[in-house]
Amino acid sequence: MSDTNTPQPEMPRSASAVPPVPFAGLVRWMSLAEQTLAALFLFVIVSTMGTQVFARYFFGTPFSWSEEVARLALVWMTFVAAAFVMAEGRHITVDLLSHRLSVRGQVWLECMSHVIVTATCLLLLVGGRHFVWYMGRVGSPSLEIPKSWWYGAVSVGMLLMAIHSVVNLLQVLATGRPTSRDSAVEEKGFHLELEQGE
């Protein structure tokens, strides 16, 4: 017979006890879509330049449009990639103050930084819309694609980064704690550490 008065061992607290981060699914799907687009643009760059080299050295007649296609893909890849890099918190930062503050101070500092980033992105987006529209009248030399396709990548990138910054702000306000960067991949090459004895 088992003793019903015997204390049972405590079960470990499940991960579900931690309150879920709001908009986590939205951020995940947006980042996945942006990473996929950036990978496609990278594939276009590599395949276009590879075809250009092949045509130059084997047929002696390089394509006139390959450079424009690669440049267009590079511009779009840059600003789309900047969006999901912001979502993961992996943009280059100079952290001089946050580690000296309390948790509440870190929350307010991070909220202020998200507000500044959002305002800057929206300012560039709104301020540059006339220029993008104006450049639509100018075509590229080979493909005759409107130049607004090039400069439009900046507007799309600013919009995506503003969305990610607003979502990050809402997540910090909802959780009441600074964003954890433990899951971010840290590149050892960017961490300069002085060795002892030097």
Q: How many Å apart are CA 172 and CA 118, to the nearest integer? A: 15
pLDDT score for 11? 47
Given pLDDT bands bounded at 50, 70 and 90, which one contains residue 150? Answer: confident
pLDDT score for 6? 53
pLDDT score for 91? 79
Q: Please state which of the ranges 99-108, 164-173, 187-196 shows the lowest mean pLDDT.
A: 187-196
Q: Please state which of the ranges 17-26, 30-39, 75-84 shows the lowest mean pLDDT.
A: 17-26
DSSP, collapsed to helix, strand or coil, labels residue 146 as strand
Does position 197 have pLDDT exceeding 60, yes or no? Answer: no
DSSP, collapsed to helix, strand or coil, labels residue 11 as coil
Q: How many Å apart are CA 39 and CA 76, to the nearest integer? A: 11
Q: What is the pTM of this model?
A: 0.74
What backbone torsions phi and psi does residue 92 show, to the nearest 5 degrees?
Answer: -65, 130
Q: What is the pLDDT of residues 76-105, one digit of tens each?
A: 999 999 998 888 878 777 777 777 888 888
Q: How many Å apart are CA 89 and CA 181, to the nearest integer? A: 7
Long-range contacts (CB closer than 8 Å, 24 or more residues apart) made by 29-34: 30/83, 30/84, 30/87, 30/160, 30/163, 30/164, 31/84, 31/87, 31/88, 34/80, 34/81, 34/83, 34/84, 34/87, 34/160
pLDDT score for 191? 46
Looking at per-residue pLDDT, the higher value among 99 and 42 belongs to 42
Counts of helices then strands in the chain (DSSP H, E) = 5, 0
DSSP, collapsed to helix, strand or coil, labels residue 13 as coil
pLDDT score for 198? 52
Contact 123, 162 (CB under 8 A): no
pLDDT score for 187? 46
